């Protein structure tokens, strides 16, 4: 058996990523008297789960998606405080944008963006649409 490490250079991504480390924490949001610190880029788990459940309205899918950004109990805590579907959507639009570039989107702009996208999605029927991973992905600027 041949020892590959002596014949070929090892691609050491541990060392490479350590040399090019990005700050791990960025924008902070306060919601229901609790502060959440966003990562400086969307976690891989968030991105993968968003693809898997992109059109789901299942609360368990949304809960798993949110846990990678806000912790496993966030959705239940927010629901206990009476958060509406629209409020959740606005928070997610804001968080997805500000995780990548803190300060790039205000809360008011996030609300307007959410409302515009939901109006387009619902065909201006005036319904109060529910945020889905697809809505979140659209707000983050990620293309499917």
Q: What is the pLDDT of residues 79-92, one digit of tens each?
A: 999 999 899 989 98
Q: Is residue 128 left, alpha or beta, with left meaning phi > 0 and alpha meaning psi from -120 to 50?
A: beta
Q: What are the helix and strand counts (H, E) for the chain?
A: 8, 2
3-state DSSP helix/strand/coil % of the chain, to nearest 5: 55, 10, 35
The predicted pLDDT at position 49 comes to 78
At residue 84, the pLDDT reads 94
Report the distance separating Cα 10 and Cα 40, nearest Å: 29
Its pTM surpasses 0.85:
no
Average pLDDT in the 28-45 region? Answer: 87
Query: Among candidates 20, 43, 31, which has minimal Cα distance to 99?
Result: 43
Counting residues of the chain whose pLDDT is more than 90, the rounded percentage is 27
- Return d(Cα 132, Cα 86) in angstroms, integer: 11
């Amino acid at each position: 058996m041949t020892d590959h490490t002596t014949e070929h250079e090892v691609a050491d991504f541990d060392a490479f990523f350590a040399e090019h480390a990005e700050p791990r924490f960025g924008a902070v949001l306060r919601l229901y008297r609790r502060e959440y610190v966003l990562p400086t880029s969307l976690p891989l788990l968030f991105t993968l789960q968003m693809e898997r459940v992109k059109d789901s309205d299942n609360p368990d899918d949304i809960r798993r998606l949110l846990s990678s950004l806000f912790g496993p109990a966030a959705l239940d805590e927010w629901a206990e405080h009476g958060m509406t579907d629209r409020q959740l959507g606005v928070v997610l639009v804001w968080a997805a944008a500000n995780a990548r570039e803190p300060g790039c989107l205000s809360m008011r702009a996030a609300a307007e963006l959410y409302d515009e996208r939901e109006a387009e999605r619902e065909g201006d029927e005036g319904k109060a649409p529910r945020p889905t991973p697809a809505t979140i992905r659209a707000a983050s600027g990620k293309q499917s």
